A = this chain, B = another copy of it.
Amino acid sequence: MERTTYAGLVNESYLDQTVTLTGWVQKRRNFGELVFIDLRDREGIVQLTFNAKHPQALAIAQEARSEYVLAVTGKVVRRADDQINTKLASGQIEIEVQEAEILASSKTPPFYIEDGVNANEELKLQYRYLDLRRPEMQKNLRIRSKLMASAMRFMDEHDFINIETPYLAKSTPEGARDYLVPSRVFPGSFYALPQSPQLFKQLLMGAGFDRYFQIARCFRDEDLRGDRQPEFTQLDLETSFMSAEQIQNLVSQWVKQIMKDVVDFDLDIDHIQILTWQESMDRFGTDKPDLRIAYEIKDLSSMMADVDFGVFAQTIQKGGVVKALAVPGGAEHYSRKDIDKLTKYIERFGAKGLAWLKVTDDGLNGPIAKFFNDEQAQEILTLSGAKSGDLILFGAGRQDIVAASLDYLRRQTAADLNLIATDRPWRFAWIVDWPLFEYSEDFGRWIAAHHPFTMPNEEDLHYLDEGEDPHQAHAQSYDLVLNGYELGSGSIRIHRMDIQEKMLKALGFTPEKAQEAFGFLLEGMEYGFPPMGGIALGLDRLAMLLAGQDNIREVIAFPKNSRATEPMTQAPTAVDFKQLAELGLEVEPAETPRDEK
């Protein structure tokens, strides 16, 4: 029996035709001489009926159970009126089966195969091939596939050359922890799985390819959070002889095409906001603002130096800031208890408390209202933009703590109050003019904000010279942001050895260490490397957003869990000691996994 179409595609246009379908038993209702089976394939579900007119088929139907694989041939007929299901594409018809075959049987699955099923996450990963049968997972991975096809097609049509770069690469310092691969030919030596194709794509520009593109797997051995995986995928491109603005414009067009192809959304490129990093931090407290939320952070520092409220006044005197967020209609929604909860949350950013005011028709209300005279109250309203019925939330203290707190409060209150705009649901922004360096609390030193190959602004090049403060420099870098998520990060690269050497020095590399780590790149730059720049977009995150999911695991076929384990195959596993001997390795296996120590 040869399939004639997908089960999920049979509709009224097939009426009276004979079709052969294959698929899985989603549900069976057995009335003895009459059996109904919902047959599922990747396109959807169709109802099969089996009756005594076709005893062979009926016998098969009686034998079949959930998740059996069937092939059936039958006639497409109209359903009885009381059988019509308007929720299904095939809801008007059913197949009267004449012939049936069981292609594979199935044990009872460990969980129901339907969307929203309540099953243990680890169990679902262990039986991933069953969980992936759910319509939602099928849809998610098809969205990801469409996204890749669209991205690739645009790049091909714009003369980008798809070039594969090595996965067995060199371990480099900077950045996250590498996954290592021991060498058998040179025992004691290791390849590293690349954290990105960054260096290779710069070398490809040095090689004159002019426009490079790759869908590249990247690897980072980091502690895992909800939106991180040990391996992830980037839409990676690089071009020569283009300015930052030209690259941003090209990427905007690319994203427009993807949005059209994947979610049929007409993105108006003129709607993509371009914000400097500073402006984004000032207005939204973050470098990845969610522009679907209309209200913004306002700086009230100028008026707070000599108010009676000591907390604010002292903050300003100590060099801190006082900023406010006027949450529209928030006065009624938030009780003191609610506000206590918000306060608790922002303590993780270092906030010492959360001052607030409610705006009524009669003026300001709340425990700190008494500290402001009429004129100051008016100024608070003017500067914060608050209106009657709003809740004003204050951040006071160190710049970065205030930013993180008010960013969180903005997103949380918008979610609570349904203030995330649904018209123009996809709000992209370019964040430009980033600092070249940022201070890393993790490393306890200054690191490259983007990466060590990012070109400073022309006018800031002097900051890398002897005796100047490199941390003043800003960079020719740009992030693409969508609805509060960073989609990708790009920059113009350093193509001159002298600048690259200064940059590495500013990052604390001795000349010897710089040579050891990046000697091949520095040497390459002596042989005519062109001006170049590019970007990498996170495919997993973009697919997640376009699929309407909130975890990238939902758009990855076989993800790792939070301990970097794949519960189905149980990778990683112990290996044969002979294999290790060939690699010149000895292991000291720990009694317990590292993350439990």
Contacts and interface: CB of A to CB of B under 8 A. Distances in A.
A532 to B, nearest CB: 10
Interface in A184-217: 184-193, 199-200, 203-204, 206-210, 217
Given A103-B531, A558-B166, A590-B584, A572 B183 contact: yes
A118 to B, nearest CB: 19
A287 interface: no
Nearest to A539: B164
A565 interface: yes
A559 to B, nearest CB: 8
Contact of A22 (B104, B145, B241, B526): B241
B161 A142 contact: yes
Contacts of A177: 184, 579, 582
Contacts of A162: 144-145, 148-149
Contacts of A186: 563, 565, 572, 590, 593-594
A541 interface: no
Contacts of A149: 152-153, 156, 162
Contacts of A204: 129, 132, 557
A51 B271 CA distance: 48
Contact of A42 (B165, B208, B221, B582): B208
B571 A208 contact: no
A138 interface: yes
A67 B527 contact: yes
Contacts of A80: none
A141 B210 CA distance: 13
Contacts of A584: 587-590
B579 A208 contact: no
A585 B585 CA distance: 7
27 contacts: A22-B240, A24-B528, A42-B208, A42-B209, A128-B207, A129-B206, A141-B161, A141-B163, A145-B156, A145-B161, A145-B162, A164-B556, A167-B217, A168-B572, A180-B182, A180-B575, A184-B564, A186-B590, A188-B574, A191-B572, A192-B571, A192-B575, A520-B569, A582-B594, A584-B587, A586-B586, A586-B587
Contacts of A105: 528
Interface string A82-118: 0000000000000000000001111101000000000
Interface in A539-578: 556-558, 560, 563-566, 568-575
A41 interface: yes
A87 to B, nearest CB: 20
A583 interface: yes
A187 B588 contact: yes
A3 interface: yes
A574 B170 CA distance: 10
A190 B573 contact: yes
A356 interface: no
A589 B217 contact: no
A595 B185 CA distance: 6
A236 interface: no
What 9 pairs between A and B have smallest CB-CB spacing? A188-B589, A132-B207, A106-B528, A170-B571, A189-B572, A170-B569, A183-B572, A145-B162, A67-B528
A596 to B, nearest CB: 9
